[in-house]
Structure 1
Amino acid sequence: MIRIQAINQQNKMVFDPPLAELEVMKWYWVDFVDPTDEEIGLLSSHFKFHPLAIEDCIHSLQRPKLEYYDDMNFLVFHSLDPETLEAQEIDVFIGDNFIVSFHFQDLKEVNLTWNYFSPPSAHGQFKPVEVTYKLMDKVVDSFFPLVEHLEDQLATIEDADRVKKADKTIMETTFTVRRDLFKLRQIVVPTRDLVYRILESKRFILQEHKRAYFQDIYDHLIKLSQMIDSNRELTSDIRDNYISLNSYRMNNIMKTLTVITTIFMPLTFIAGIYGMNFVHMPELEWNGGYFAVLTVMLLLGTGMFAWFYSKGWFEND
Structure 2
Amino acid sequence: MDIYYKVQKEISQTSKIDDIPENVDFVWYDIQELDSESAQLGIVTKDLEDIKTGSYLPKYIDYNDSRLFVCHAMGMDLKAQPINIIVSGNQLITYHNGILDDLIDIETVLKIDDINPVDASLTILERTVENYFKAAYDVEEDVFALEDRQGTNRQSRGFMDDVFEIRSRLLKVKRVILPVSELVISIRTEGRLVEGSHQKSVLRHIDLMLKRQMNIIRSIDDMTDEIRDNYVSYNSYKTNRVMTLLTLISAIFLPLTLITGIYGMNFDYMPELSWHYGYFIIMGIMLFISIAMLMYFKIKKWL
TM-score (normalizing by structure 1): 0.89
- Map 1:1-317; keep pairs closer than 5 Å: 2-8=1-7, 10-16=8-14, 18-20=16-18, 21=20, 24-33=23-32, 35=33, 39-43=34-38, 45-54=39-48, 56-57=49-50, 59=53, 61-82=55-76, 84-110=77-103, 112-119=104-111, 122=112, 124-159=113-148, 162=151, 165-314=154-303
Amino acid at match of 2:165: T
Give how far 1:168 is off: 2.0
Q: SS in structure 2 opposite 1:88?
A: strand
Deviation larger for 140-149 or 158-167:
158-167
Structure 2 unmatched ranges of 5 or more: none
Q: 1:22 to 1:70 in 2, by over 3 A?
A: farther
The number of residue pairs the alignment matches comes to 301
CA contact (8 A) 1:93 1:101 kept: yes
Give how far 1:51 is off: 4.2
User: Matched residues in 2 for 1:163 and 1:113: separation?
Assistant: 47
Give how far 1:194 is off: 0.5
Q: SS in structure 1 opposite 2:35?
A: helix
Give how far 1:164 is off: 5.5
User: Matched residues in 2 for 1:160 and 1:309: separation?
Assistant: 33
**CA offset digits 1:155-195 (Å, max 9, x no partner):** 11111664564222221111111011101111101101101
User: Matched residues in 2 for 1:11 and 1:159: separation?
Assistant: 54
Q: SS in structure 2 opposite 1:312?
A: coil
Q: SS in structure 2 opposite 1:94?
A: strand
**CA offset digits 1:109-162 (Å, max 9, x no partner):** 44x24142254xx3x510011111111111111111111111111111111664
**How much identity, in percent, do the aligned residues show?**
27
Q: 1:77 to 1:46 in 2, by over 3 A?
A: same
Give the ranges of 4+ consecutive aligned residues of structure 1 lying more than 6 Å apart after TM superposition.
Answer: none
User: Matched residues in 1 for 2:162 and 2:227: separation?
Assistant: 11
User: Matched residues in 2 for 1:41 and 1:17: separation?
Assistant: 12
TM-score (normalizing by structure 2): 0.93
User: Matched residues in 1 for 2:2 and 2:184: separation?
Assistant: 27
User: Matched residues in 2 for 1:103 and 1:254: separation?
Assistant: 60
Give RMSD over aligned pairs. Answer: 1.9
User: Matched residues in 1 for 2:268 and 2:30: separation?
Assistant: 104
Structure 1 unmatched ranges of 5 or more: none
Amino acid at match of 1:53: D
Give how far 1:205 is off: 3.6
Give how far 1:79 is off: 0.8
